[in-house]
Chain A
């Protein structure tokens, strides 16, 4: 009975979102206040019923209700409670419910935190999101109902949650990634609402910015978590595989990164309007593309859900209608998006444009590499794959260009910057960066390496130009502290995120350049050298977990005379499905990770294992944390709220719309 209640609440949420997708939008175009004011309560309703739906699914897992097909396929009685509850997103149906629920969560947040936006705008935004939600719930009810029962004979016990998923990363990675992903639907809805109303001004950009920043920050964390999880769980020693399912989030992220920059220009300078709208549509398309790829059965991977083709067609239809429709609308409304100001050939606008072009080209190259094999197969029936080297070759030069431009962008001025000024500001910074890049790795490692030099130079370039900018911006105040206090939160957000780029760059370059690994066969008592470290196998014992049994090796690591520690990698077999699974052991450090995966027992009680030393790998995720933190700081800038209040006062005073140009100009942080 209870699962049927879950299905019933999904149907109710569907009905409410249908109304939400129609009445408020029509109301907004006819200026019908009553219909527009329905948007917020309807959104709350959709959110509540989806919350009930997902809670009931979690409850079905909790009480081991194996008459529900989805539960029977993804859980069993021995599964630990934390995985039972999170197995909700362990398969296609449940994870799509999570996706839709996250969407309604964002909608609810928009309904609450939009008090200062005009009602017609809120009605349109929530209406657009309502249409999307309706399509998602319809998809769920029609092709992938999580509450489908097994009748008449439900199994006594369930199968098993995919063993690769039984891990802490599984608890946090999918929700975070989905939350970031669907966050871009909100920005998309903002864009469509602007196109519908024909009002695309600085105020619109200001409303959109916190949402875009928040979605971007959460997506950053979601991707980083995925990378971190893949690194320690999948056991191949890498942190990014250019796997076709990893790529869509990255594509979305690259579009999203371009978008948050372009939005800043639209807000402050009133230019790049159509470009910003296009990026919002593209970022959203990236998220739908990701859903399509993992749910259409086109691919095989940990992320792919085995599925029937009707699902693929359904999602493709949603994809086609959403993207096609919004691009059509975009084409019709494009003439409305006139730039309000011009700018010169050397200006901050240009540097942000360069940033945007690089990011979009990068996204397009990842997209091409991802879909080319699929398209090729559809046309010729032959299979091929595109290896990581393709992505590395294309990505590396683009990112170097991006980092070079990144050093100049923040220090340049809006509208017009003289090249002499830039040289005068950054000439010494550039020289100092090169000096640091050459000398620092030499002092530490006593040998020259191109990778280390390039990486440290670029990171120093980012950091020093940032400090230079900070020094410039605080120079006019009587004390530095006063100057620092006068800077806006969004400025600090930007600098934090850019610093994250420098940290991540160091991590990626040094890990890629200097990681070492060895696959060996060790008998108890034997040891092996890798770099400065000596790994010794002390012995292998049998251990029993809640739903698996394992062979656990004890490996002691020494560096010179110093004991570094013990590592306990496991080779597990999960009991319900008899699936083998490797559980690596990692000794994590700020400057290096030691990493061992256990293979199998060969003759003479020797064990095969792979040993890795990975310098600076933590910096990759540390950089992502800085970036996300920057995004959240910028999203939390009071400036947005304060301005909204001022605007509201203006509105109440009776002056129809605030004059956007003044607001935009008055906003500039940097003259």
Chain B
């Protein structure tokens, strides 16, 4: 083999090794850190094992939010209008978290059938529905229009949030 060919071969081997190492690392890291998404109906049907980290998405059931006045603990129910899943969370809820609104939460099911959320995500923009919530409602056979009608009312005059009292 000519020297420059050998050098080229060496370079190719070096790069291949590096790339396979990187791909292995990437595959490993990805496998460890994938959060699957489940709808309330899937969770209620027991499709998720206890203690496994996953994401759940649905609507915050109207009238279900229970705030502990002495701590940051809060509990509420998420629903896709077919099944309900109770969620518990400790911390400050996002700005756009509200009853009748969509939400996505990350966490685990405990043995009592309560979803212990480590993170609650709300949308950034009130006119726009999260894909995950939409998927959950679609799966439960609730139309997007129902959702939009409920949430947005008329274009622009969006949310039924009372202004703070003067």
* Interfacial chain B residues near A385, Cβ < 8 Å: 34-35, 37, 55
Distance of B144 from chain A, by nearest CB (Å): 13
Asked whether B32 lies within 8 Å of A304 as measured between CB atoms, the reply is no
Contact flag A390-B69 (CB < 8 Å), given A302-B124, A579-B126: no
* Interface membership of chain B positions 136-166, coded 1 if the CB is closer than 8 angstroms to chain A and 0 otherwise: 0000000000000000000110110101101
Asked whether A521 lies within 8 Å of B70 as measured between CB atoms, the reply is yes
Distance of A407 from chain B, by nearest CB (Å): 19
* Interfacial chain B residues near A306, Cβ < 8 Å: 125, 127-128
* Interfacial chain A residues near B66, Cβ < 8 Å: none
A306 to B148, CA, bound (A): 14
Most chain A CB atoms below 10 A, which of B22, B36, B93, B126:
B22
A300 to B18, CA, bound (A): 35
Q: Name the residue on A nearest B125 (C-beta).
A: A162
A608 to B70, CA, bound (A): 10
A364 to B19, CA, bound (A): 10
Distance of B158 from chain A, by nearest CB (Å): 6
In the complex, B132 has a CB within 8 A of chain A: yes
* Interfacial chain A residues near B135, Cβ < 8 Å: 383
Q: Find residues 554-601 in chain A having any chain B CB closer than 8 Å to their own CB.
A: 573, 575, 577-582, 597, 599-600
* Interfacial chain B residues near A549, Cβ < 8 Å: 163-164
Contact flag A383-B161 (CB < 8 Å), given A582-B95, A603-B69, A610-B92: no
In the complex, B130 has a CB within 8 A of chain A: yes
Asked whether B126 lies within 8 Å of A599 as measured between CB atoms, the reply is no
* Interfacial chain B residues near A301, Cβ < 8 Å: 124
- Among A365-373, A460-468, A627-635, which stretch is in contact with chain B? A365-373
Asked whether B127 lies within 8 Å of A608 as measured between CB atoms, the reply is no
A369 to B22, CA, bound (A): 13
Asked whether B72 lies within 8 Å of A579 as measured between CB atoms, the reply is no
* Interfacial chain A residues near B52, Cβ < 8 Å: none
Asked whether B91 lies within 8 Å of A519 as measured between CB atoms, the reply is yes
* Interfacial chain A residues near B126, Cβ < 8 Å: 577, 579
Q: Which residue from B29, B90, B164 sits with its C-beta under 8 Å from A393? A: B29
A interface residues, tally (CB under 8 Å) = 55
Q: Which residue from B7, B72, B128 sits with its C-beta under 8 Å from A520? A: B72
Q: Which residue from A390, A519, A542 sits with its C-beta under 8 Å from B29? A: A390
Contact flag A608-B95 (CB < 8 Å), given A386-B33, A390-B30, A578-B161: no
* Interfacial chain B residues near A608, Cβ < 8 Å: 72, 92
In the complex, B25 has a CB within 8 A of chain A: yes
A368 to B164, CA, bound (A): 45
Q: Find residues 517-563 in chain A having any chain B CB closer than 8 Å to their own CB.
A: 519-521, 542, 549, 551
Asked whether B69 lies within 8 Å of A573 as measured between CB atoms, the reply is no
Asked whether B125 lies within 8 Å of A384 as measured between CB atoms, the reply is no
Asked whether B70 lies within 8 Å of A603 as measured between CB atoms, the reply is yes
Asked whether A578 lies within 8 Å of B26 as measured between CB atoms, the reply is no
Q: Which residue from A383, A603, A610 sits with its C-beta under 8 Å from B131? A: A383
Most chain B CB atoms below 10 A, which of A385, A398, A573:
A385
* Interfacial chain A residues near B33, Cβ < 8 Å: 386-387, 389-390, 393
In the complex, B49 has a CB within 8 A of chain A: no
Q: Name the residue on B nearest A372 (C-beta).
A: B30
Asked whether A609 lies within 8 Å of B92 as measured between CB atoms, the reply is yes
* Interfacial chain A residues near B69, Cβ < 8 Å: 602-604, 606
Q: Which residue from B124, B128, B164 sits with its C-beta under 8 Å from A164? A: B124
* Interfacial chain B residues near A573, Cβ < 8 Å: 161, 163-164
In the complex, B111 has a CB within 8 A of chain A: no
* Interfacial chain B residues near A361, Cβ < 8 Å: 18-19, 22
Distance of A657 from chain B, by nearest CB (Å): 27
In the complex, B88 has a CB within 8 A of chain A: no
Asked whether B95 lies within 8 Å of A581 as measured between CB atoms, the reply is yes
Which 7 pairs from chain A and chain B are nearest by CB? A603-B69, A383-B37, A390-B33, A599-B92, A393-B29, A361-B22, A302-B124
Q: 25 pairs across A/B with beta carbons < 8 Å?
A: A159-B155, A299-B131, A300-B130, A302-B125, A306-B125, A361-B19, A365-B22, A368-B26, A368-B30, A383-B55, A383-B131, A384-B34, A384-B35, A385-B34, A386-B30, A389-B33, A390-B34, A519-B90, A573-B161, A578-B161, A579-B158, A582-B95, A597-B92, A608-B92, A609-B92
Given A384-B35, A542-B164, 9 new contacts (CB under 8 A): A300-B125, A300-B129, A342-B4, A383-B36, A383-B135, A542-B166, A579-B95, A580-B161, A604-B70
